[in-house]
């Protein structure tokens, strides 16, 4: 019978829990689709700060590094949207709200635009191309993060 490693299962469950929380926080800014305000307040520095404060206040034990990680997970969405392409008005994200309510988009164009008109010809193929491209760009970064975390 193998000896249990200290914190092996608990550490693994904790890592999965944190990964799930960070993953959900990474996609949560797009919930603004539900209220017809896409790319606005939820895609901002203000929302990122609020998420960090909420994580600090709501999760126990209170942890500044965990709160910062939650804010970084939320903020990563803003960064990736800013680096992408946007064909829907308003163009870009309201990145600096509440300090500035302008919309910003980098000229990098790293990611393909995501169309929301599902009746458009070729939309399914385009969406799969966009997903494949995002996986190609971000997969190695995610793999490196997992590798680094396990060391």
Can you give the binding site for Zn ion, defined by CB under 5 A? Answer: 30, 81
Q: For Zn ion, which is the closer residue by CB, 81 or 94?
A: 81
Q: For Zn ion, which is the closer residue by CB, 67 or 74?
A: 74
- Shortest distance in whole angstroms from residue 46 CB to Zn ion: 15
Cβ–Cβ < 8 Å for 100, 46: no
18: Cβ–Cβ under 8 A, 6 or more apart, which residues?
66, 69
Q: For Zn ion, which is the closer residue by CB, 21 or 79?
A: 79
- Shortest distance in whole angstroms from residue 27 CB to Zn ion: 8
State the chain's maximal CA–CA distance in angstroms.
62
- Cα separation, 70 vs 39, in Å, equals 19
- Shortest distance in whole angstroms from residue 101 CB to Zn ion: 17
């Amino acid at each position: 019978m193998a000896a249990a490693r200290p914190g092996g299962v608990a550490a693994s469950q904790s890592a999965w829990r944190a990964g799930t929380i960070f993953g959900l926080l990474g996609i949560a800014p797009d919930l603004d689709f539900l209220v017809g305000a896409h790319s606005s307040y939820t895609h901002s520095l203000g929302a990122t700060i609020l998420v960090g404060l909420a994580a600090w206040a709501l999760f126990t034990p209170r942890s500044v590094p965990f709160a910062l990680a939650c804010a970084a997970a939320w903020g990563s969405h803003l960064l990736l949207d800013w680096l992408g392409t946007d064909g829907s008005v308003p163009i870009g994200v309201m990145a600096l709200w509440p300090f500035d309510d302008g919309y910003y988009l980098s000229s990098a164009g790293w990611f393909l635009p995501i169309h929301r008109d599902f009746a458009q010809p070729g939309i399914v193929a385009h969406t799969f191309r966009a997903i494949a491209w995002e996986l190609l760009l971000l997969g190695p970064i995610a793999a490196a993060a997992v590798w680094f975390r396990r060391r």
